[in-house]
Amino acid sequence: MYRIRFHGRGGQGMKTASRILGSALFAEGFEVQDAPRYGAERRGAPIFAYVRADRRPINERGIIRRPDLVVVADDTLIPVPAAGVLAGLDAYSVLLIHSHESADTWRRRLNTPARVLVLPLIEESADRADLPYVGAVCAGAAACLLGVISEDALATALRDELGPLGEAVVQRNLDKALAAYRQMVEVCGVVTEGREANAADYTPPEWISLAFEGANVSAPVIHAGLTSSAVKTGLWRTLRPVIDYDRCGRCWWVCSSLCPDGAIQVEEGRPTIDYDHCKGCLVCVAVCPPHAIEAQPERTAESLETPK
């Protein structure tokens, strides 16, 4: 069975990538599962989507923990622990990173037993706030690495998935997907099918019978904060919204009420951003009437203190 995970940020097309790859595998005669995993998150948040494909019926369910291929659409996710990009990689796995840095650089940087490949970044958006859509590119590269998908099957799957968006969108993405496919030709088929988990290896848990207790005794006790306010969800942000108070018109009901995370607080009519919980979705940048909020790359904004 092939087990493939696509990692990216919400808006980059990882769900579409998994659907295109899944449809292409189906067209080649495989049984397929494909599903995204993003919970209630949104644009810019780390998400992943996964595909299983086998010639036999697939009984395995749930997220993929031991992938044969991991495709990373956005290399800024690799150091983000919550993204779990490197989870489960072993010496039989292939890690494909969409990046402007070389495979050698990533091999030196990452302590992973997996084989590391790079899909060169074809285009970098001029607007840092714009998340490039790379679903078709990632699906095309992955299709070639598996070595069991023809260009025709890839094109048919892509047309099936993107057809409702119109011929211009289909053609643009098809060109990119096929270009990515051909960039991988030298390593076509490098991904091998993982070994099937054997039911005979399964060790049942050792059950412990607990005496029944009333709810006042048996209800769980919470020892550590794990609510959204206690968890610093702002850690995965790559772009930071910064308010220019000289331009700010104090129309706080706009930015504070439209921030989906309630990360903009208002005191005496003055908005401030809670950077521990701001996820960098940049909704506030888009809605601020006088354009008083600017998106700054997190790396250069790191040294800035919260504006007073």
Residues in the chain: 308
Q: What number of CA atoms fall less than 13 Å from residue 184's CA on the CB side?
A: 34
Map residues 182-221 to x or -, x wherever contact with ligand SF4 holds by CB under 6 A: ----------------------------------------
Asked if 235 is part of the footprint of ligand SF4 (rule: CB under 6 A), the reply reads no
Dihedral angle, C-alpha 166, 169, 77, 116, nearest 10 °: 120
User: How big is the site for ligand SF4, counted in residues (CB under 6 A)?
Assistant: 27
Asked if 301 is part of the footprint of ligand SF4 (rule: CB under 6 A), the reply reads no
Collapsing DSSP states into helix, strand and coil, what is residue 296? strand
Asked if 248 is part of the footprint of ligand SF4 (rule: CB under 6 A), the reply reads yes
Looking up tokens 């700010």 gives: 248
Distance CA 45, CA 65 (A): 20
Asked if 158 is part of the footprint of ligand SF4 (rule: CB under 6 A), the reply reads no
Asked if 281 is part of the footprint of ligand SF4 (rule: CB under 6 A), the reply reads yes
Distance CA 50, CA 5 (A): 4
Asked if 19 is part of the footprint of ligand SF4 (rule: CB under 6 A), the reply reads no
Looking up tokens 């919970």 gives: 39
Least CB distance to ligand SF4 at residue 259 (A): 3
When binding is defined by CB under 6 A, the residue of 152, 250, 257, 306 that contacts ligand SF4 is 250
- Under 8 Å CB-to-CB from 15, ≥6 apart: which residues? 36, 38, 47, 49, 135
When binding is defined by CB under 6 A, the residue of 261, 272, 296, 298 that contacts ligand SF4 is 261
Question: Residue 61 burial (CB < 10 Å; 0-12/13-18/19+)?
Answer: exposed
Which of residues 5 and 277 has its CB atom nearest to ligand SF4 in the complex? 277
Asked if 282 is part of the footprint of ligand SF4 (rule: CB under 6 A), the reply reads yes
When binding is defined by CB under 6 A, the residue of 97, 290, 299, 307 that contacts ligand SF4 is 290
Alpha helices in the chain (DSSP H): 14-27, 103-109, 135-146, 151-162, 167-183, 215-218, 252-258, 283-287, 298-301
Least CB distance to ligand SF4 at residue 237 (A): 7
When binding is defined by CB under 6 A, the residue of 165, 183, 284, 306 that contacts ligand SF4 is 284
Which of residues 40 and 222 has its CB atom nearest to ligand SF4 in the complex? 40
Return residues touching ligand SF4 (CB under 6 A): 241, 243, 248-252, 254-255, 259, 261, 263-264, 271, 273, 278-284, 288-290, 292-293
